[in-house]
Homo-oligomer: A and B are copies of this chain.
Amino acid sequence: MKKIDVAVLGATGRVGLEYLQMLKDHPWFSVVDATGNTKAGLKLGDVAPELPTKLRSIEIKESDPSKVEADLVFSPLPTSVAKETEAKFAESGFKVITDASPHRMDSDVPLMIPEINPDHLKLIEGRAKRGTGFIVATPNCTTIGFAMSLKPLEDAFSVKKSVMTSFQALSGAGYPGVPSLDIEDNVIPYIPGEEEKVPAETNKLLGSVSKGRDKILSNSLQIFCSCNRVAVIDGHLESVYLETDKSVKDPEDVFATFSGVPQDLKLPSAPENPIVVRKENDRPQPRLDRMEGNGMSTVVGRIRQHGAKTLQYHLLTHNTIRGAAGGAILTAELLAKEHDIF
């Protein structure tokens, strides 16, 4: 099989470099182009000498569709420029996969966690067949593990209401991000926009494709979030309380046996288990569990049932792997495998 040529926009940022690392030996994708407005003209090797030879020699271009050639474009662009730049690439006929926030709630943009809603790709099927460009988005790093853990519970017990409190890692704020003077010996109990994004995105992820295949009918779970920053480098920990419509039975088993299309298709970046259950009293812990499944698994623990319809648990997801580069690459793999568009 011929490799699919991909470009990485904003490749010289912290997350952009993670894409390059994860793509450098990818069996299906080959990085052929990279952009970065502030470093345009340099080569990738000038910015990241640790990359392999083939990547080091790639010239960094401006984030301009007329200068890029690729079958697929990954966009870890910063929010401020993502909206316009990604739209331009899509209008120019590119297939864009983005982990940035601006287009996530657009009606014609599927918001994807491949284990949860592979069918949402129907939204772009028509455009893909016609060879028209499109945008596919991945969720906020705080949404991902939460939605992943809700999906099997929703299917089994009909979730009615959920309260989620997060302990979010520093890398979620980008670089330079959180000043050390703000977080040392401290917790910051607020992350702008986050408490609104998680409910909206989760309900879109758990929603269904409309008959016209032109939009997603969002689910309507009640979700209340409290989003907080803690002094952890990587790995978002979340404490979840939820109420269900049906009686909860054997939730540990429901989590542990959850599997999806990426596992069936054995996609290259798919973890063996989307959800890994830890049985110890005091897990998951960010530093100990964030690399589970190469950073692609969500780790669930401390499952506590109260009565028939109330459940508490903790979950952990690596926010820059599954929550950014890894999640986007897995989505691209699903697109490549399931849709005859490359």
Contacts and interface: CB of A to CB of B under 8 A. Distances in A.
A177 interface: yes
Contacts of A253: none
Interface stretch (A23-31, A51-59, A163-171, A330-338): A163-171
A177 B170 contact: no
A230 interface: yes
Count of this chain's copies in the oligomeric assembly: 4
A181 B177 contact: yes
Given A177-B180, A226-B314, A185 B232 contact: yes
Interface of A: 163, 165, 167, 170-171, 175-190, 192, 224, 226, 228, 230-233, 237, 239, 241, 281-288, 301-302, 306, 310, 312, 314
A230 B281 contact: no
Given A179-B179, A192-B281, A224-B310, 17 more contacts: A165-B226, A165-B239, A175-B181, A177-B181, A178-B180, A181-B233, A184-B232, A185-B287, A187-B285, A189-B282, A189-B284, A189-B314, A190-B281, A224-B306, A226-B241, A226-B302, A228-B237
5 contacts: A176-B176, A176-B181, A186-B285, A186-B286, A190-B281
A170 B165 contact: no
A184 B285 contact: no
Given A237-B187, A285-B189, A228 B167 contact: yes
A190 B282 CA distance: 5
Contacts of A306: 224
A192 B176 CA distance: 18
B189 A301 contact: yes
A318 to B, nearest CB: 13
A242 to B, nearest CB: 10
A170 B180 contact: yes
A287 B180 CA distance: 13
B165 A286 contact: no
Nearest to A171: B181
A163 B233 contact: no
Contacts of A239: 165, 189, 226, 228
Contact of A185 (B184, B282, B302, B312): B184
Nearest to A306: B224
Given A177-B179, A180-B178, A312-B224, A231 B170 contact: no
A165 B188 CA distance: 14
B180 A237 contact: no
B232 A187 contact: yes
Contacts of A185: 184-185, 231-233, 286-287
A186 to B, nearest CB: 4
A188 to B, nearest CB: 6
A184 B285 CA distance: 11
A167 B231 CA distance: 12
A186 B314 contact: no
A224 to B, nearest CB: 5
A167 B224 CA distance: 18
